[in-house]
Amino acid sequence: MKILVTGAAGYIGSHTCRLLTDSGHQVYGYDNLSRGHREAFSRATGGRLLIEGDLLDTLQLKEALQQLEIEAVVHFAAFGLVGESVKNPEMYHRNNVEGSASLLHAMHEASVRLLVVSSTTAIYGEPKTMPISENSPAAPINPYGQSKWDVECLLQQACEHNGLGFAALRYFNAAGAAPDGMLGEDHRPETHLIPIVLQVALGQRDRIQIFGDDYPTPDGTCVRDYVHVNDLADAHLKAVNTLTPGESIQVNLGSGIGTSVLEIVKHARHVTGHPIPAEMAGRRCGDPPLLIADNSKAQTVLGWTPKYSSLDSILTSAWRWHQKHPHGYQAT
């Protein structure tokens, strides 16, 4: 299939481009490179066409879809930081919601009717029941989660009225790196737990601050469901093959296993052989105590089973990437 991937130079985008390419799809990237890395896309696809463009440029998107005879779009391009979204809600609405509306319009004009879109556990807010199934009500508690829920609602309308076929993949905590160390996580600034812990092991930071140890969880620190980026990529491949015009699917993508912040730090000490000093700090605003996926629907609907998402596989692959690329893609 000829597939346009927006946000193709980003973390999950680049891993997915690699798998789609390796599986025989013709992948074209679309990225404004505001947060992604050209090198990531180039490594992922062996140098296929990357169009540098913004989601809000509807005309450029439409021309790309038409000229490349695109059959399906995989849409990653979005901002994804909760804290940033609280400070700049309008930026998240513009980039994530209006950007997706622009893409949808371009697809409509170019008669492209199949779409896989990144969504997030943040649409559920602080669910009352665990693990979280797709039946949990959407109740976002921050502008990032709201923006992704708005996108899902927009797509549902396009599905019901315009024959769009889409899959909304609701990620839990994406983590890990390509096992061969070629692709990995490189955010600037970095705010995610695992890369920060590994930056301590590399000597780039003095210590990890643990944001809160008084949560109602077994060790008092927040519990998350970490899912390997290669497993996420695999779900996109499966979703592309499942898309049907006029039908929508929504699935949670998590390992189904909860891991606390302290467990991550302890396991990272084991993997890296570094003491990784930690200090307790206050809670980070907006952090739910516990987020664990019920992934049974993804197994049933997509035939998806996480294969790389053990804590050991996540931390070992991430550590390999960080050792090989202590400054991310920059120094390559």
Of residues 103, 192, 101, 96, the one with CA closest to residue 146: 96
CA distance 306 to 12: 15
Q: Is 144 in the site for ligand UFG (CB under 6 A)?
A: yes
191, 241, 300, 332: residue in contact with ligand UFG (rule CB under 6 A): 191
Pick between residue 61 and residue 261 the one whose CB is nearest to ligand UFG. Answer: 261
Q: Does 56 contact ligand UFG by CB under 6 A? A: no
Element (H, E) at 264: helix 261-272
- Is there binding between residue 122 and ligand UFG (CB under 6 A)? yes
- Is residue 144 annotated as a catalytic residue, yes or no? yes
Is 261 a binding residue for ligand UFG by CB under 6 A? The answer is: yes
> In angstroms, what CA-CA distances link 259 with 48, 123, 173, 267?
37, 20, 11, 10
Alpha-helix residue ranges (DSSP H) falling in 163-212: 193-201
Q: Is 119 in the site for ligand UFG (CB under 6 A)?
A: no
Which tokens hold the place of 36?
């992604």
Site for ligand UFG in 66-105 (CB under 6 A): 80, 82
The yes or no reply on residue 17 touching ligand UFG (CB under 6 A) is: no
- Residue 97, φ and ψ in degrees, nearest 5: -85, -55
b/e per residue, 155-168, with b = 16+ CB within 10 A? Answer: beebbeeeebbbbb
Which stretch, 119-127, 159-167, 309-317, 323-331, contacts ligand UFG (CB under 6 A)? 119-127
Q: How far is CA 301 from CA 144, 229, 239, in A?
A: 26, 20, 9
Which residue among the candidates 144, 215, 308, 329 is catalytic per the annotation? 144
Instruction: Give the residue, chosen from 132, 291, 311, 315, that forms a contact with ligand UFG under the rule CB under 6 A.
Output: 291
210 binds ligand UFG (CB under 6 A): yes
121 binding ligand UFG? (CB under 6 A): yes
Q: Which residues bind ligand UFG (CB under 6 A)?
A: 80, 82, 120-122, 144, 173, 191-193, 196, 208-211, 222, 224, 261, 284, 287, 291
- Catalytic sites, residue numbers: 144
